[in-house]
Amino acid sequence: MSTTLANIDVEYEFELARLRVTAKPDLRAMLMNTVRQRHRERRASYVREIAELQKRMSRK
């Protein structure tokens, strides 16, 4: 799961860098906000699962 999170983060950084170069200035902020929101949504389930696993491990 941590590898998947790392991959999601790398894709996110790549997408932001691409937008900084290619997006029209008047659309850039809106597009970057959309990318940020999608990034948070993609990561959320993995972060929850890792937190749950850590909680289970600490109980043992």
Stronger pLDDT, 44 or 2, i.e. the higher one = 44
**Nearest residue to 23 via CA among 8, 39, 34, 9:** 34
Rounded Cα distance, 26 and 46, in Å: 33
**Nearest residue to 24 via CA among 13, 34, 32, 12:** 32
- 60 pLDDT more than 90: no
* Domain residue spans of the chain: 5-58
pLDDT for the residue numbered 1: 85
User: pTM score, two decimals?
Assistant: 0.83
- CA distances from residue 57 to 43, 51, 54 in whole angstroms, order as listed: 21, 10, 5
Stronger pLDDT, 60 or 11, i.e. the higher one = 11
In tens, the pLDDT along 4-45 reads 999 999 999 999 999 999 999 999 999 999 999 999 999 999
Residue 15, CB-side half-sphere exposure with 13 Å CA sphere: 15
